[in-house]
Amino acid sequence: MSSVLITGASKGIGRAMALELSKRGHRVVATARRPEALADLPVDQRLRLDVTDQETVDQAVKDAGDIDVLISNAGGTIRAPLESVPLAEVERLFQLNTLGALRVAQGVLPAMRERGAGRLIFVSSIQGRLVLPMIGPYGASKWALEALAETLAIETRHFGIKVSVVQPGAVSSGGAERAPVFLRENDPYTPLYEQLPLLRGEFVTPEDVAATVADAIEQPGPALRIPVGAPAERVLRARKEAPENEPFLTTEISW
């Protein structure tokens, strides 16, 4: 069984992963910005870790001890057109979704490299390979995350470290409902925003994502990119087969 550190374990996908991995007998170190939110999780350790705060990352990695697997899950999203999205919000998303993931990876990699073994699993999205209107900042942060993950896969494989990117589509975790929306009064992009449910497609559950991640951990040679569920597989296949000379949309929109 592996020793697994999970970021963003207080709710949604992170919480489901902590429960699934604990059920399978792994040693789980659940982390969150507010560790009190982890109190009811049946895990081995509950630690404070804010992926945007180097001091908390360093302390959590130290307190966790030997880590075989890092699941980089902490993240967030917003809804806004790129014409008017506050740039501070875009920067915040990159700090959380992209640089935060790299910050924690940097924390665990030296020990993994010295041991000659380790796993890095990054929770991305189908939006790491395609874009949806009104969710552009989130998609951009996930495209960047996937670039970092693939680079890490190349740089660290000589040291016995395996890297995977998990790609769910829409997840029924409540994240979309909690997402801040930046639309002005009488915003011309409101009709597009109202079509987002259609564009996001079928949902999978946090438990679906958790089972996929747990299966990847228990495989000797997991793939670099792992779609979650048939909806994600279909959309990513369609994106791969689509021409590159025009934007790709999962479905048509109307104005």
List phi, psi (to 5°) of 171. -120, 135
Q: How buried is 92 (Cβ within 10 angstroms: 0-12 exposed, 13-18 middle, 19+ buried)?
A: middle
- 8 A C-beta contact, residue 80 and residue 89: yes
Long-range contacts formed by 228-231: CB under 8 A, 24+ apart? 228/166, 228/167, 228/168, 228/169, 228/204, 229/168, 229/169, 229/202, 229/204, 231/169, 231/170, 231/201, 231/202, 231/203, 231/204
Place of tokens 């890092």: 70
Active-site annotation, residues: 138
Instruction: Quote the CA–CA distance of 50 and 60 in Å, as a whole number.
Output: 9
Among residues 54, 68, 62, which one has the least CA distance to residue 6? Answer: 68
- 8 A C-beta contact, residue 214 and residue 21: yes
Place of tokens 């951009």: 140
